[in-house]
Amino acid sequence: MSNLMSKRAVLVAPEQPIEIWERPISLPQAGEVLVKVIMGGVCGTDVHFWRGEVPLPGPLVLGHEGIGTINALGEGVTTDHAGVPVKTGDRVYWMPLRPCHSCYYCTVEEDFTLCENGMADLFRDANLPPSACYSEYSSLHAGMPFYRIPDDTPSEAVIAFGCAMPTMLQAMERLGGVKVGQTVVVQGCGPVGLAATLLAKAAGAAQIIVIGAPEQRLAMARRLGATDTIDMQVMPSAEDRLQRVHDLTGGEGVEVVIEAAGAVDAFGEGVQLLAKNGRYVVVGLWSAPGTVAIEPRYINNKNLQIIGSALYSSSHLYGAIRVAQQYHETFPMADAVTHRFSLEDSQKALDAVARLETVKAVIVP
Ligand SMILES: [Zn+2]
Ligand SMILES: [Zn+2]
């Protein structure tokens, strides 16, 4: 066991080819869990990392959306973080972020998504055992939340939405939810937009208009509950799209807009799409710098609410497993996994995601 070697895909420096490193792994210490990775989601954020849009302290192992089986349990670990008993061979989904429980946001605001130290595990030295998932094995450090995946829930239904589903669960919470019969625009049809579409449908929205591209992703949005889609490649003018939304909704605009586009221009357009008393949640611009011109009087005169939502916490990761368990037969969730790559082909996976060829790509180590 102590002689076991583990391969990992390492981002050595921005825009450099991903390297495969092999390093020994050791048995878990007290409170830790060693996981054999089944699949790791490839996220748009990984592409932002690869491009160097997030400052890198040194070589790191990519991947923050991992599902694996428990290979070994450290002393004292008998349950997951929801109190469910666990044993070797069980499938688990884990939280890549670990709040420090000692900063202002953790202890005073009790908002773990704003923890000042919560990202440390993402930037671990690539020579050390990773908790990242572009790896044959992952080491879950003590205090890193993980949850058993129920036997009736396919891994694909969970990983198809990756960090997008917990991200949207928090965004919906901060938005105050979508109510039965409401009209909704979802901007974007990547995993975050698709998760938004599914959750709006499950909440009983009457009309869900998804704006995005390419058509392959819009087709998936329709299968997940979109009542109408607007292809930005076919209708590139924001003015035309506003008119189209007005035509579809009787000229008033919509009650809820969910920004999941990841492009700053979406923001100005989203404000315009809202009806009076509309609510707008911005969830896709986390790694999209830039400014945009808007007319603030619309916010004033139409009683609009604009809400931001950053990252997610362990309760939302747990919720994402519950969504997959409850809805994987109602909606074709697992079908959103369209591409599988070996660990050695991690670079090809990133390239395919960057070119928007995938709905969801996964690494299968
Ligand atoms: Zn903290
Ligand atoms: Zn992600």
- The reported pLDDT for the residue numbered 2 is 54
pLDDT of 30 over the 70 cut: yes
- The CB density around residue 197, as the number of other CB atoms within 10 Å, is 31
| Phi, psi torsion values for 128, nearest 5 degrees | -85, 160
172-225 pLDDT, tens per residue? 999 999 999 999 999 999 999 999 999 999 999 999 999 999 999 999 999 999
Secondary structure of 151-215 as H, E, C letters? CCCCHHHHHCCCCHHHHHHHHHHHHCCCCCCCEEEEECCCHHHHHHHHHHHHCCCCEEEEEECCH
289-301 pLDDT, tens per residue? 889 999 899 999 9
Ligand that lies nearest to the alpha carbon of residue 62, given by its number in the listed order: 2
286-335 pLDDT, tens per residue? 878 889 999 899 999 999 999 999 999 999 999 999 999 999 999 999 99
- The CB density around residue 343, as the number of other CB atoms within 10 Å, is 20
Ligand that lies nearest to the alpha carbon of residue 66, given by its number in the listed order: 2
CA of 163 from ligand 2 middle (Å) equals 4
Token pair, residue 239, equals 């003015």
CA angle 7, 32, 128 (to 5 degrees): 35
CA of 48 from ligand 2 middle (Å) equals 11
CA of 230 from ligand 1 middle (Å) equals 41
CA of 201 from ligand 2 middle (Å) equals 22
Token pair, residue 177, equals 């939810």
Which is more confidently placed, 336 or 286? Answer: 336
CA of 248 from ligand 2 middle (Å) equals 32
238-248 pLDDT, tens per residue? 999 999 999 99
CA of 18 from ligand 1 middle (Å) equals 31
Ligand that lies nearest to the alpha carbon of residue 159, given by its number in the listed order: 2
Ligand that lies nearest to the alpha carbon of residue 362, given by its number in the listed order: 2
27 close to 34: Cβ distance less than 8 angstroms: yes
For the chain, the average pLDDT equals 95
Task: For 80-103, give one letter per residue: b (16+ CB within 10 A) or e.
Answer: bbeeeebeeebbbbbbbbbbeeeb
Residue of 309, 34, 28, 42 lying closest to 146 (CA atoms): 34
pLDDT of 1 over the 80 cut: no
Cα distance from N-terminal residue to C-terminal residue, the chain: 19
Query: pLDDT class for 3, splitting at 50, 70, 90?
Result: low
Query: pLDDT class for 132, splitting at 50, 70, 90?
Result: very high
Token pair, residue 83, equals 């109190």
Instruction: Please give the single-letter amino acid code of residue 3.
Output: N
Q: How would you class 219 by CB atoms within 10 Å of its CB: exposed for 0-12, middle for 13-18, buried for 19 or more?
A: middle
CA of 284 from ligand 2 middle (Å) equals 11
Q: Which domains are assigned to the chain?
A: 5-161+333-363 (3.90.180.10), 164-308 (3.40.50.720)
